[in-house]
Structure formats: C-alpha cells, structure tokens
Amino acid sequence: MEDIAMASIQVRKRTGCLIIDFYYQGLRCREQTALADTVANRKRLEKVIERIETEIASGTFR
C-alpha cells in the first residue's frame, strides 16, 4: 500500500475560495471549490477529505 499524505485545506488568495490539496499516486492534486473560507465550509471539506483519504487507502479512489 502506498504512503498516504494528509490532505489540507487552503485558501486561494485571488478568489478567497477553499482548495483541497493532496497527493495521489505521487502527483500533487489541488481541487478548487466555490466555497468561501468559513468555519462551516472548512468542516464540510474535512468530511470530503476523510472520504478521499479512505478511498485512496482502500484503492477505490477515482
């Protein structure tokens, strides 16, 4: 099984929108959202990150 790096939530300075930043199969992936930087939206993305990390670990991520 490959090493799984923790994903992070970042803010795009130009738009103020949140981005999910993670590695998959050795490649850096950054998924931009249209979500503003709020506590509620960060919690929402934490759930998405948990799902991504679970799917990567189980080999079902696409």
In tens, the pLDDT along 2-58 reads 555 689 999 999 999 999 999 998 899 999 999 999 999 999 999 999 999 999 889
Residue 2 near residue 23 (C-beta atoms within 8 A): no
| pLDDT of amino acid 3 | 53
Cα 13 from Cα 60, distance rounded (Å): 32
| pLDDT of amino acid 37 | 97
| pLDDT of amino acid 62 | 84
Coil, strand or helix at 37: coil
Cα 27 from Cα 44, distance rounded (Å): 24
| pLDDT of amino acid 15 | 93
